[in-house]
Structure 1
Amino acid sequence: MSALLTVRGLVKRHGERLLFDIGELTLDAASAYVLTGANGVGKSTLLRALAGLEPVQAGAVEFDGKPVSLHPYPQALRRAIVYVHQHPVMFSTSVAQNIGYGLVARGEPRARVAAVVEAAMDWAGVAYLRETDPARLSGGEKQRVALARARVLQPRLLLLDEPTANLDGAAREQVIALIPTLMEQGTTVVMACHDRDLIGLPGVRRLKLRDGHLEYRSHKGEHGEAQ
């Protein structure tokens, strides 16, 4: 399996405090990972750094076999990597316009945007909400709209920060059901989470951030520290 993203010497400090010092992080193409670890160890910061939203020190970085940088963050990565916040921000327009926003910003033809958004709403089970003001959405509905908004951009790498946090019952199950279909379309997915059902999804590999280092773990509990 070929590597999609490799980052060596990934270091983040908050003042004098070392948050993490990761010798090497490698994410394979068309693969899925869960990023676990105690609260406050830097899981969200790591995802935000990979998305260009958090300044970080990095040595050699390769994306799809080509050398790139994380700072300044190149346009090629902005198009290829999408980050979904635990509490997604919605524009005060409609659900359909929120989902299509990224495509409109890229200058895609209006007819294509409409067709892609319609398909994404069907996929996420939110077509009945197309004209709804996002301020009226439940937490689970917002998360599904955010996933649809990410999916239409066809990211090579999708970073999800606690996608099922604060959800329960049917809302949580609906979000979890969408994750395997993202994996099936060839997107590499990394989910920072504590959700055992996400961690246990078939084919998902586990990364654990602990004491500033990253451990790669198999489902059998074997692990080795990435250096």
Structure 2
Amino acid sequence: MTALLTIHNLQKKFHQRQLLNIKNLAIAAAQAYVLTGANGSGKSTLMRILAGLESADAGEVKFNNEAVNLSPYPRTMRDAIVYVHQHPVMFSTSVADNIAYGLTVRGVAKNIVAEKVEEAIEWAGIVHLRKSIPAFLSGGEKQRVALARARVLSPKLLLLDEPTANLDGAAREQVIALIPTLVGEGSSVIMACHDRDLIALPGVQRLKIRDGTLEVKEINLHH
């Protein structure tokens, strides 16, 4: 497997407490991972470090075969890594505008933005919500809008914090069904979660944080 991101000796202290002490973290290109661990084990902290939202000390770091430092957070990672919060923040415009936001900020031409947004709306199954005001969306609908907003940026690494935590029934299944398609398009995906159905998805590698260290489990070959 081609390595997308490798980090050696990742250290994170909180006051005097050692929160993370990870010898090796290796994320392969176009691979899905679930990150599990007890509450307070450091899952969200690790995700925030990978997203550049929190600082940490590290030895050798390579991203896309290029040696980088984690601090200050490198531009190459900022452009290629997208973080989706458990409770995605939505602008009070429309669903389509929310999905277009990242592309617009990057200065992408309007006709390309429109094309990519339309494709993402279809992909996420939210065509009927195109003109809806995000404040009135359900939790599952917001999560699908957030995934569409991330997908249009073609991330090399997508970080999902508890993507199904507040969803039930059909909403949960709809979000779970989108994950393999992201990997199929070439994105690596790391999901911090406790959801057994996400953990059991075929081809998913399990990473478990215990006492600040990382354990790598077997890849699921099938259900």
Normalising TM by the smaller chain, what interval?
Answer: over 0.9
* 8 Å CA contact retained: 2:144, 2:175: yes
For residue 77 of structure 2, what is the amino acid of its counterpart? Answer: L
Helix, strand or coil: the match of 2:146?
Answer: helix
Cα deviation digits, residues 170-204 of structure 1 (max 9, x gap): 11011001001001001111100000000000000
The 2-side partners of 1:127 and 1:113 are apart by 16
The 2-side partners of 1:2 and 1:174 are apart by 29
Give matches, 1:65-76, under 5 Å.
65-76=65-76
Residues 1:134 and 2:134 aligned together: yes
> Identity, % of aligned pairs?
66
Q: Structure 1: give runs of 5+ residues left out of the alignment.
A: 221-227
Q: How many angstroms does 1:219 deviate by?
A: 4.9
Alignment RMSD: 0.9
Question: How many residues end up aligned between the 2 structures?
Answer: 220
The 2-side partners of 1:217 and 1:2 are apart by 19
The 2-side partners of 1:43 and 1:107 are apart by 33
Helix, strand or coil: the match of 1:208?
Answer: strand
The 1-side partners of 2:176 and 2:19 are apart by 29
For residue 107 of structure 2, what is the amino acid of its counterpart? Answer: G
Q: Structure 2: give runs of 5+ residues left out of the alignment.
A: none
Aligned to 1:56: 56
The 1-side partners of 2:133 and 2:101 are apart by 15
Aligned to 2:106: 106
Helix, strand or coil: the match of 2:115?
Answer: helix
TM (normalized to structure 2)? 0.97
For residue 116 of structure 2, what is the amino acid of its counterpart? Answer: V
For residue 28 of structure 1, what is the amino acid of its counterpart? Answer: A
Deviation above 6 Å: which 4+ runs of structure 1?
Answer: none
The 2-side partners of 1:60 and 1:163 are apart by 30
The 2-side partners of 1:190 and 1:63 are apart by 15
Helix, strand or coil: the match of 2:160?
Answer: strand
* 8 Å CA contact retained: 2:203, 2:219: no
Cα deviation digits, residues 146-169 of structure 1 (max 9, x gap): 000000000001111000001101
Give matches, 1:145-164, under 5 Å.
145-164=145-164
For residue 26 of structure 2, what is the amino acid of its counterpart? Answer: T
Cα deviation digits, residues 32-63 of structure 1 (max 9, x gap): 11000001101011011001011111111000
Q: How many angstroms does 1:69 deviate by?
A: 1.4
Q: How many angstroms does 1:92 deviate by?
A: 1.1
Give matches, 1:163-202, under 5 Å.
163-202=163-202
For residue 183 of structure 1, what is the amino acid of its counterpart? Answer: V
Give matches, 1:204-223, under 5 Å.
204-219=204-219
